[in-house]
Amino acid sequence: MRAVEKDGWTRVVRKNNTARYEKDGKDIVIHFHPGKTFGEDLLKGLLERTGWNNEDLKRLKLIKR
């Protein structure tokens, strides 16, 4: 979720285990549970919704160069 904020997404709502972010007319909803990792489907949807590519993932330090 830090990477989403670092990329310029603004958190507009955080309630229980859900956070909603907005940027450029798009929004994403992230369901999270402290101490657990994100599932494959959530990560895939996040990549599709944010439009991140390999260069973005490197810039955000989510993968090594």
pLDDT in tens, 26-61: 999 998 888 888 889 988 999 999 999 999 999 999
How far apart (Å, rounded) are the C-alpha atoms in residues 31 and 15? 10
DSSP state for residue 27 in the 8-state scheme: E
pLDDT in tens, 8-34: 999 999 999 999 999 999 999 998 888
The CATH code that applies to domain 2-59 is: 3.30.920.30
What whole-number distance in Å separates Cα of residue 25 and Cα of residue 60? 21
Helix (H, G, I), strand (E, B) or coil at 13: strand
Query: How many Å apart are CA 55 and CA 34, to the nearest integer?
Result: 28
For residue 10, what is the DSSP state? E
Q: What is the domain partition of the chain in residue ranges?
A: 2-59
Tokens of 8: 């310029």
